[in-house]
């Protein structure tokens, strides 16, 4: 069995389907979402496989109850499956102790299904579904270093004062392309977008005018990785809070920029041990191009 516990969601099927449930109920109304989910499951699972069907139906009912959107039809069918001991024989094969644990979990689940649901909750995929820049965009944005700790001192020779002195100055990056790391099978429009970018040398008081992209020099963001590119979230949380400016657009061939392993910069994270400003300030400093 593809299960690691006797709980309703303690199995691979329930966990794999959770993101599909989220996508469907975010994108469609409840009735349509249920139909699309059921159609997808029937195309990919065998209803005669009692283990899989329990994992599917119980996890769906559990998800909908938790989100405050459980319909009478789904509730009644799940309860009927429990009352008819649908799939229970599979647990008996694992021994009496495991069987009792599963029966206890099903009893608790049944009681939950007939209890009042919580209020309707917001459903939104935890993925970055939109891009705010086009492929090839060259963007200048401000560093925000004042009052922040410089976190890469062991890798780059940059003092805290030098780091803070970069506050308000502009660096330039280019969006090369978008990489989709995950896509919903039920709602293809729901996909996790990650931007592939490269950093150029130079530190500017104001967004520069770029007439010739060939004059820009791409530099390594990570000293241990040979590729000059990095990946970051497509919503670019930091950019929305900075005075960024798209200063040019020049298409590039993504195949010429292989993405090295581990070179992620998380723009939604600003923690003392990891912030985007430290990576960019360090890279600019390491290339001795802090004065232009």
Q: Are both 232 and 143 inside the same structural domain?
A: yes
pLDDT at 292: 43
pLDDT at 119: 96
Structure confidence by residue, pLDDT tens digits, 20-44:
999 999 999 999 999 999 999 999 9
Residue 83's H or E segment, with its range, is helix 72-83
**Exposed/middle/buried for 106, CB within 10 Å: 0-12, 13-18, 19+?**
buried
Q: Are both 32 and 80 inside the same structural domain?
A: yes
Structure confidence by residue, pLDDT tens digits, 171-191:
999 999 988 889 999 999 999
pLDDT at 225: 56
Q: Which of 35, 16, 252 is nearest to 137 (CA)?
A: 252
Whole-angstrom distance, CA of residue 263 vs CA of residue 31? 42
pLDDT at 55: 93
Q: Are both 19 and 153 inside the same structural domain?
A: no
Please check whether residue 172 lies inside any domain of the structure.
yes
Structure confidence by residue, pLDDT tens digits, 159-169:
889 999 999 99
pLDDT > 70 in the chain, percent: 87
pTM of the model: 0.78
DSSP, res 254: G
**Exposed/middle/buried for 246, CB within 10 Å: 0-12, 13-18, 19+?**
middle
Structure confidence by residue, pLDDT tens digits, 64-76:
999 999 999 999 9
pLDDT at 140: 92
| Residue 51 domain boundaries | 12-114
Please check whether residue 125 lies inside any domain of the structure.
no
Q: Are both 223 and 84 inside the same structural domain?
A: no
Instruction: Map tokens 């975010």 to a residue.
Output: 26
pLDDT at 289: 43
User: Which band of pLDDT confidence, cut at 50, 70 and 90, is reported for residue 210?
Assistant: confident
Whole-angstrom distance, CA of residue 288 vs CA of residue 161? 16
Domain end marker among 79, 114, 149: 114
Q: Are both 147 and 212 inside the same structural domain?
A: yes
Please check whether residue 124 lies inside any domain of the structure.
no
Please check whether residue 7 lies inside any domain of the structure.
no
Please check whether residue 1 lies inside any domain of the structure.
no
Give CA separation, 282 vs 104, 208, 213, 292, in Å.
56, 20, 23, 16
pLDDT at 126: 85
Q: Are both 175 and 266 inside the same structural domain?
A: yes
DSSP secondary structure letters along 138-156: EEEEE---TTPPP--TTTS
pLDDT at 290 over 50: no
Q: Are both 234 and 190 inside the same structural domain?
A: yes
Q: Are both 156 and 260 inside the same structural domain?
A: yes
Domain end marker among 114, 146, 166: 114
Please check whether residue 126 lies inside any domain of the structure.
no
User: Which band of pLDDT confidence, cut at 50, 70 and 90, is reported for residue 154?
Assistant: low
Contact by Cβ (8 Å): 282, 156 = yes
Q: Are both 281 and 155 inside the same structural domain?
A: yes
Q: Are both 258 and 173 inside the same structural domain?
A: yes
**Exposed/middle/buried for 80, CB within 10 Å: 0-12, 13-18, 19+?**
exposed
Whole-angstrom distance, CA of residue 81 vs CA of residue 129? 36
Provide the number of structural domains found in the chain.
Answer: 2
Residues linked to residue 249 through DSSP beta bridges, in sequence order: 137
Give CA separation, 255 vs 113, 168, 223, 234, 260, in Å.
51, 33, 21, 19, 13
Read off the pLDDT of each residue in 244-264 and give the average, rounded to a whole number: 79
Q: Are both 211 and 150 inside the same structural domain?
A: yes
141 vs 74 pLDDT, higher one? 74
Structure confidence by residue, pLDDT tens digits, 120-129:
999 999 888 8
Q: Are both 82 and 164 inside the same structural domain?
A: no
Please check whether residue 2 lies inside any domain of the structure.
no
pLDDT at 98 over 70: yes
User: Which band of pLDDT confidence, cut at 50, 70 and 90, is reported for residue 212?
Assistant: confident
Whole-angstrom distance, CA of residue 65 vs CA of residue 60? 9
Contact by Cβ (8 Å): 8, 59 = yes
pLDDT at 190: 94
Please check whether residue 132 lies inside any domain of the structure.
no
Domain end marker among 48, 83, 114: 114
- What average pLDDT is seen over the chain? 86
């Amino acid at each position: 069995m593809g299960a690691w516990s006797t709980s309703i969601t303690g199995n691979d099927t329930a966990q794999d389907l959770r993101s599909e449930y989220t996508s469907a109920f975010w994108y469609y109304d409840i009735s349509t979402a249920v139909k699309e989910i059921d159609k997808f499951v029937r195309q990919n699972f065998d209803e005669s496989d009692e283990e899989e069907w329990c994992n599917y139906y119980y996890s769906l009912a559990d998800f909908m109850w938790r989100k405050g959107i459980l319909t009478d039809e789904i509730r009644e069918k799940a309860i009927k499956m429990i009352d008819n001991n649908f799939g229970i024989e599979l647990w008996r094969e694992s021994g009496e102790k495991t069987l009792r644990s599963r029966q206890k979990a099903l009893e608790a689940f049944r009681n939950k299904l007939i209890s009042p649901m919580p209020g309707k909750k917001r459903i939104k995929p935890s993925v970055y579904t939109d891009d705010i820049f086009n492929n090839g965009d060259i963007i200048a944005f401000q560093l925000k270093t004042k009052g922040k700790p410089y976190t890469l001192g062991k890798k780059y020779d940059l003092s805290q004062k030098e780091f803070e002195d970069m506050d308000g100055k502009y660096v330039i990056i280019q969006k090369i392309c978008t990489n989709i790391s995950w896509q919903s099978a039920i709602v293809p429009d729901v996909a996790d977008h990650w931007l592939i970018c490269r950093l150029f040398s130079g530190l500017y008081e104001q967004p520069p005018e770029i007439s010739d992209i060939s004059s820009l020099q791409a530099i390594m963001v990570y000293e241990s990785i040979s590729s000059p590119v990095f990946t970051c979230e497509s919503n670019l949380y930091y950019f929305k809070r900075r005075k960024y400016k798209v200063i040019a657009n020049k298409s590039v061939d993504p195949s010429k920029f292989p993405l090295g392993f581990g070179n992620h910069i998380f723009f939604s994270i600003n923690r003392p041990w990891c912030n985007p400003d430290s990576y960019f300030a360090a890279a600019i400093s390491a290339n001795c191009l802090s004065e232009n």
